[in-house]
Structure 1
């Protein structure tokens, strides 16, 4: 019996007509394997509806459409880029019973389907949480603010309400200055918390109750105590965007006030210590990545593979003092694999990096003092004119955003066109955001800010964002250039970006005749910034100097 047929048997038992599955787990983490187990999809954004018969509709966005077509069985699944809501509204009726796992969908996820069909919640009890979290304190020299001060500051936003129930694990980890050294890619602690009006916190953790070295303001409890404590409240604030349906059911008889998690914006605005840490982490990371590029340049004749390169880059990062682990699965992609926006090399897809082509490496590191994310596209062999032209167009888009000066109050959505204009004028585009927020030794994909169409969060000094325009030709190659940068103040209430990433671009792919004088000046300044940061750390300073010198092009 296939996995789909087995699941349809389960649907028959619980008496539903269709069942909705999501790529996130109960902590809304990006790297859950729920969909992989039933349909082989490994991306971070997918929604599957299992129907009683016929092909099952699968929904994802433009970043993953090629990947979905490669990974899913076309005889079993039909792939859409439309919203699942649109399909459900058109294909289901008010009498259709749609099942879903209430521990994986938030209040906001589910609310939009009310009235369209009959929603049938159930719990996925097969999920087993790893209780060995190895929780550690995040030192004040890296966090820049004590947990007690953060709790008092955030508690002021509660106003007259009794408490706020926090379900976002990044928010809680930031608020209490705690991290887990066992959690893959993002070192957040898997937990729940209640913050009271007086700044006191009940922290509910999975696994053994640990000695509370978190301060007198934190009461550490087992997750088993969560329900009874919630029942003791008269009213509670929740964020419908981050609170799973099964948890809100625990407080059904209480007065529920819906409000955005106040930690989100505060966490996004980095303090001086966090910015200083990000600067240092990016120098460490640049040493690793640039030494890797030197290794790549000297080993392409040895028939290395995508996986060989991925291993080498991790080896270089491990040489850095504060490195802990990768911040996401590395994208090591040659030629047509690079056209798959979120490709991940495997034994089945692993290509040899040889002859002529483009190699794309998108990777990041978790350092005790910061989180990194960088993409470089480099020439293997001799690039052709088309590749040079497209790369230079993407570089122009990248520089336009990096060089932007904008008034206070500008949103990330308003800046997205700074980059896209350089591709739109030629009828070109890319099916992903131009930039995302980044945490401080936390999630590499952190909101609420983003350089993305429709994002309405105002950019504020201290926010860290990526700058990653790209262009992809399916079955041929892909180009992406990504730096991290932070928002800084200019004169007269204007803002700008300061670069964090300090890794050279591949000048073999730059057509200088396509760049304006201002773009060349920016590139020269950036190359000086790279060279000054790296010259005393590189294995080959002469090679670095050559890479950072535009005059020789």
Structure 2
């Protein structure tokens, strides 16, 4: 089924909803209410029933939060979403740059004194702790409250109730018995009796299950307690788990989600809780019950991030299957008359190409296809209202991916429509140089994403240009397309380890004109030098030779592009079904010394 292009709300709907929320503030005697993007699982992508920020403000980005006071509504977004937020929200909402503007500082200046209400299911222990510390010796205080938006949302969708499915061990590379044994050994070594796990993708990986509670992300809405003997108490609607009862086996007991808090109170501890992901209400309930707590990261995060050989081999196959679909799409796109297609047509055609494999389970996120100035909106999502026709001289930025049973893909290519300008060619080449720099990086163990991030920006910075997002995010295997804790970003101190999959996606965005982003996925692999690491490229789709200015490339960069294109041709050509696509790939992968 093709994605829809209807936004969840519009700017003109927001003012009456904000007015209704302010009425609730008055009834409760509070001065402001915090509205996060996240749900109780701290997900980047949320179910329709949890999409409160979009319903209230009109902003549909996957990161951000708002504060509504009696007089002001402030929406905090990072640089990826500034243009989008401005376009999607009414004028009465103030858009603030985050993290440059901190929530606590704004509340002190704007509210001064008063009660700030929040839903304790939607904020983590760390988030609330940080605010409480910032409010010391001020006139501000936090107040827990049931969600005020739920009171005023008359047609709020029901919670998702999709059934869970078993993920085969031959694809996972390990049985869930082995995974539980691995994690519980770490718990015992740390002297911990239980671990509370609240992240759906952690539960999916640990128990070898998948779900469809969230569009595009095959994760199950559930929480769990893992005991040091390997037993698991799984808190999920029983109807969701009936079909996987035999898969879960006798060591996994299923409980109603509403029983979690009372169950936590009965534990003897020490109970491991991640303050960065567990909802405040759970942390608080355990504390009040006197259960011993040990704060530590979710114990599944790193094992999940470090893909085993089976997962890596499977995801290589998924990426080649996906590469054939994207290549066929690019061949089709090049055959269209200049200016004859629009963004929605491109999105639908690309999804159709992926579905033609017969193995696409879903796209991995809503496809980004932005031409001209829309390409400068980093996480642009086309709608019927914003849909733009391609035009001669434009660039078309297409960021997309697929969910296959054996892997999750994410690829971005930027394509010229007609003849590109010299400025666009030079900027595109600088972005490509960033991709090459990451692809060729070799680094000692212990190197973090923040150490590599400057490599991707060097060529752009020599031109006085840069981009406001990170260079890479983690990616799962038939799981979330954005997976932690690994990243390539200035803020990430997580050491990169063998088996981690990350995106490699530098870019540049000229507001009101064009956007350029290039993205491959890479896996961390051992280097030939002892105790060092390198990257293995997983994505094989040509870069557009028409946008490459060979004059500014170093010899090693030209060699890399030619070798990448030769490997792409060898891997993808046998998978193409049409003569037209094969002819296009032959031309697209010629050495840079050949005429364009």
The TM-score, its normalising length taken from structure 1, stands at: 0.97
Counterpart residue number, 2:200 = 169
Q: 3-state SS of the aligned residue for 1:496? A: strand
Greater displacement, 121-130 / 256-265:
121-130
Give the direction of change, closer, same or farther, for the CA distance of 1:206–1:123 in structure 2 (3 Å limit). farther
In structure 1, list runs of 5 or more residues that go unmatched.
Answer: none
Counterpart residue number, 2:5 = none
Distance in 2, matches of 1:249 and 1:394, equals: 47
How many angstroms does 1:263 deviate by?
0.4
Counterpart residue number, 1:388 = 425
Q: 3-state SS of the aligned residue for 1:442? A: coil
Distance in 1, matches of 2:76 and 2:40, equals: 20
Residue by residue over 1:54-94, the C-alpha shift from the partner in whole angstroms, topping out at 9 and shown as x without a partner, is: x322111011111111112123434333232332244444x
Distance in 2, matches of 1:78 and 1:497, equals: 38
Q: 3-state SS of the aligned residue for 2:131? A: coil
Counterpart residue number, 1:23 = 37
**Maintained 8 Å contact 1:26/1:103:** yes
Greater displacement, 383-392 / 95-104:
95-104
Q: 2:364 aligned with 1:327, yes or no?
A: yes
Q: 2:164 aligned with 1:123, yes or no?
A: no
Counterpart residue number, 1:87 = 106
Q: 3-state SS of the aligned residue for 1:282? A: helix
Q: 3-state SS of the aligned residue for 1:193? A: strand
Counterpart residue number, 1:183 = 214
Partner of residue 437 from structure 1, selected from 474, 481, 484: 474
Q: 3-state SS of the aligned residue for 1:13? A: helix
Greater displacement, 212-221 / 357-366:
212-221
Counterpart residue number, 1:102 = 120
Residue by residue over 1:190-240, the C-alpha shift from the partner in whole angstroms, topping out at 9 and shown as x without a partner, is: 001010010111111135252512122211222133233212212221111
Q: 2:392 aligned with 1:355, yes or no?
A: yes
How many angstroms does 1:400 deviate by?
0.8
How many angstroms does 1:101 deviate by?
1.5
**Maintained 8 Å contact 1:136/1:181:** no
Counterpart residue number, 1:216 = 250
How many angstroms does 1:128 deviate by?
5.8
**Maintained 8 Å contact 2:339/2:390:** no
Q: 3-state SS of the aligned residue for 1:96? A: strand
**Maintained 8 Å contact 1:67/1:340:** yes
Distance in 1, matches of 2:396 and 2:472, equals: 21
How many angstroms does 1:403 deviate by?
0.9
Counterpart residue number, 1:225 = 259
**Maintained 8 Å contact 2:82/2:95:** no
Distance in 2, matches of 1:78 and 1:397, equals: 31
Counterpart residue number, 2:586 = 545
Give the length in aligned residue pairs: 551
Distance in 1, matches of 2:146 and 2:337, equals: 50
Counterpart residue number, 1:194 = 225
Greater displacement, 104-113 / 265-274:
104-113
Partner of residue 454 from structure 1, selected from 491, 494, 499: 491
Distance in 1, matches of 2:421 and 2:517, equals: 17
Greater displacement, 348-357 / 512-521:
348-357
Counterpart residue number, 1:243 = 278
Residue by residue over 1:491-535, the C-alpha shift from the partner in whole angstroms, topping out at 9 and shown as x without a partner, is: 222111110000001100001111111001111110011101111
Counterpart residue number, 2:18 = 4
How many angstroms does 1:162 deviate by?
2.0
**Maintained 8 Å contact 2:443/2:532:** yes
**Maintained 8 Å contact 1:132/1:207:** no
**Maintained 8 Å contact 2:541/2:568:** yes
Counterpart residue number, 1:492 = 530
Distance in 1, matches of 2:40 and 2:238, equals: 16
Q: 3-state SS of the aligned residue for 1:536? A: helix
In structure 2, list runs of 5 or more residues that go unmatched.
Answer: 1-14
Q: 2:307 aligned with 1:270, yes or no?
A: yes
Distance in 1, matches of 2:223 and 2:445, equals: 35
How many angstroms does 1:427 deviate by?
1.7
Distance in 2, matches of 1:302 and 1:537, equals: 29
Counterpart residue number, 2:555 = 517
**Maintained 8 Å contact 2:344/2:387:** yes
Residue by residue over 1:29-61, the C-alpha shift from the partner in whole angstroms, topping out at 9 and shown as x without a partner, is: 2223211111100101111111111x3221110
Counterpart residue number, 1:157 = 186
How many angstroms does 1:246 deviate by?
2.2
How many angstroms does 1:423 deviate by?
1.3
Distance in 1, matches of 2:501 and 2:296, equals: 24
Greater displacement, 511-520 / 115-124:
115-124
Distance in 1, matches of 2:293 and 2:533, equals: 38
Q: CA RMSD in A?
A: 1.6
Residue by residue over 1:227-258, the C-alpha shift from the partner in whole angstroms, topping out at 9 and shown as x without a partner, is: 33212212221111111112223322222221
**Maintained 8 Å contact 2:86/2:95:** no
Distance in 1, matches of 2:22 and 2:404, equals: 44
**Maintained 8 Å contact 2:429/2:548:** yes
**Maintained 8 Å contact 1:306/1:332:** yes
Distance in 1, matches of 2:453 and 2:160, equals: 41
How many angstroms does 1:180 deviate by?
1.0
Point out 4+ residue stretches in structure 1 off by more than 6 angstroms: none
Partner of residue 502 from structure 2, selected from 461, 465, 471: 465
How many angstroms does 1:301 deviate by?
4.2
Distance in 2, matches of 1:245 and 1:180, equals: 25
Q: 2:62 aligned with 1:62, yes or no?
A: no
